[in-house]
């Protein structure tokens, strides 16, 4: 397994505000700068699920699944290890860890692919913010 690295995406305060509006999660830790001064982080942090949502998009943007993906079927063992702050640029690293054939209706040859996924921030090696596994149902490419 090769490691595939996505492009980066900077998380902006506007992303956090929009995500709060979309989900209804206006928890103080995300939107209240005064409240956050007395937290271990010292400032607002992005929603964990915002990071996960952006990560799935970045995974798709790698192009590895282009023309083959049928469905995103699962998330396993997902952990939130470090906060993502407004201004942080995150990227995703993916490594295929298993492939399993699936039986679908018709003549579609498909299978489940499980990838180890890490959301990182910072340049170089980066620091892991989130990690776990993604499962995708994919069409097999003709050989």
Residue 87 confidence class, pLDDT cut points 50, 70, 90: very high
Name the token pair of 119: 């959301």
The residue segments making up the domain with residue 40 are 3-139
Number of structural domains the chain divides into: 1
Which position has the higher pLDDT, 73 or 108? 73
The angle, 0 to 180 degrees and rounded to 10, between the axes of the packed helices 13-23 and 48-61 is: 110
CA distances from 111 to 4, 67, 71, 102 (A): 20, 14, 11, 4
Place 131 in a pLDDT band, splitting at 50, 70 and 90: very high
- Section 78-96 average pLDDT: 97
Q: Which residue has the tokens 């910072």?
A: 122
- Report residue 142's pLDDT band, with 50, 70 and 90 as the boundaries: low
Domain harbouring 99, CATH code: 3.10.129.10
How many Å apart are CA 41 and CA 37, to the nearest integer? Answer: 8
- The whole model's pTM is what? 0.88
């Amino acid at each position: 397994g090769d490691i595939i690295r996505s492009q980066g995406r900077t998380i902006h305060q506007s992303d956090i505000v929009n995500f709060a509006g979309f989900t209804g999660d206006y928890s103080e830790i995300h939107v209240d700068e005064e409240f956050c001064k007395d937290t271990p982080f010292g400032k607002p942090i992005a929603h964990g699920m915002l990071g996960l949502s952006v990560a799935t998009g970045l995974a798709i943007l790698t192009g590895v699944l282009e023309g083959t993906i049928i469905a995103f079927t699962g998330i396993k063992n997902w952990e939130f290890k470090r906060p993502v702050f407004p201004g942080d640029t995150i990227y995703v690293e993916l490594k295929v860890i298993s492939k399993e054939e699936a039986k679908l209706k018709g003549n579609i040859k498909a299978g489940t692919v499980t990838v180890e996924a890490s959301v990182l921030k910072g340049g170089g090696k980066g620091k892991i913010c989130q990690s776990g596994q993604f499962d995708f149902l994919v069409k097999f490419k003709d050989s």
